[in-house]
């Protein structure tokens, strides 16, 4: 176990190094710069700004400085949102995105797994067809349409829920539903096909031959085997949803991280681009390790390392 952890941490560091390196150089390959979008500035102003943010130095020196700061946990200062450090922007935005995203994932699991199981157990019957249609629809409809429709029905027509973020429970409902829509549908489909596969296994016949009820067969014998593909999917999906959805956050005016992610690129906010990329990579790596460990717990045949 100790060896495994050492190995995973060193791989994680290597990955982070590669991610930051590639992001850094790709970023400068894109034309433009952080101060070009605004009204024309004098050359002296530009030079002063570039000097302030260290952009006047050679790229390789900038790269070195960035890595050194990164090692100290300092992600730099945003060039767009003047005076705010990237650390602060992430620290402000991430909790909001994570709260909504985490709830959405929970909702998706609680809806997707029962729906998929019901469909699998009633294979070929009308309820199965209904769930297949629902989940296909869920996968096909993009979140911005879901969010807009929900907003129209619940906020505009009935005035039940707010259209913007107030930080309370009521304002979480619309974003959570919009975000949970796709993963619930996807999980339902995954678990359906996975359970159908498991139900055909010999050990399920053994379970039936023992005289076990359908309930025990499903929850004890089938689900634990069938859940593995869902766990695999959940790793990256949780990382993606926790880090915030640009579209949903934009439509429902949520001050989350998803917005910062995209706007940093359009505004060439170099430190924020790097910061969000490194942050997302870290999140993804951590969740993948958690997935690996969850795998080991669920299926004893799997060996870590």
Query: Rule CB under 8 A: which residues touch another protein?
Result: 201-203, 205-213, 220-221, 224-225, 298-301
The distance of closest approach from Cβ of residue 125 to another protein in the complex, given in angstroms and rounded to an integer, is: 12
C-beta of 211: minimal distance to another protein in Å?
Answer: 4
Provide the 8-state DSSP code for 239: H
Note whether 165 and 96 are within 8 A (CB): yes
Residue with tokens 């100290």: 72
- Of 59 and 224, which CB lies nearer to another protein in the complex structure? 224
Closer CB to another protein, residue 208 or residue 250? Answer: 208
Residue 174, φ and ψ in degrees, nearest 5: -65, -50
Of 169 and 215, which has the nearer Cβ to another protein? 215
CB of 213 to another protein, least distance (A): 6
Closer CB to another protein, residue 58 or residue 211?
211
CB of 203 to another protein, least distance (A): 4
| Long-range CB contacts (within 8 A, 24+) of 28-37 | 28/59, 30/268, 32/268, 33/268, 34/79, 34/80, 34/267, 34/268, 34/269, 34/270, 35/79, 36/268, 37/267, 37/268
- Cα-based distances in Å from 200 to 155, 197, 227: 47, 6, 15
Nearest distance in Å: CB 301, another protein = 5
Beta carbon nearer to another protein, 136 or 214: 214
């Amino acid at each position: 176990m100790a060896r495994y952890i050492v190995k995973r941490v060193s791989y994680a560091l290597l990955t982070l190094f590669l991610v930051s390196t590639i992001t850094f150089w790709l970023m400068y390959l894109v034309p433009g710069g952080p101060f070009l979008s605004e009204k024309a500035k004098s050359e002296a102003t530009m030079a002063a700004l570039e000097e302030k943010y260290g952009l006047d130095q050679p790229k390789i020196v900038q790269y070195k400085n960035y890595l050194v700061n990164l090692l100290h946990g300092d992600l730099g200062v945003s060039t767009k949102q003047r005076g705010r450090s990237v650390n602060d922007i992430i620290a402000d935005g991430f909790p909001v995105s994570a709260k909504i995203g985490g709830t959405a994932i929970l909702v998706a699991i609680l809806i997707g797994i029962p729906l998929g199981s019901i469909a699998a157990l009633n294979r070929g019957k009308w309820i199965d067809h209904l769930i297949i249609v629902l989940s296909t629809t869920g996968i096909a409809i993009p979140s911005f349409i879901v969010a807009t429709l929900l907003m129209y029905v619940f906020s505009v027509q009935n005035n039940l829920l707010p259209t913007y973020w107030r930080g309370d429970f009521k304002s979480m409902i619309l974003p959570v539903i919009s975000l949970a829509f796709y993963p619930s549908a996807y999980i339902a489909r995954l678990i359906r096909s996975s359970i159908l596969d498991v139900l055909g296994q010999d050990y399920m016949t053994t379970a039936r031959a023992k005289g076990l009820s359908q309930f025990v067969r499903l929850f004890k014998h089938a689900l634990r085997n069938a859940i593995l593909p869902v766990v695999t999917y959940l790793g990256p999906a949780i990382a993606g949803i926790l880090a915030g959805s640009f579209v949903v956050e934009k439509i429902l005016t949520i001050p989350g991280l998803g917005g910062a992610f995209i706007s940093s690129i359009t505004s060439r906010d170099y430190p924020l681009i790097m910061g969000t990329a490194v942050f997302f990579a870290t999140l993804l790596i951590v969740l993948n390790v958690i997935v690996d460990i969850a795998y080991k717990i669920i299926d004893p045949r799997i060996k870590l390392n």
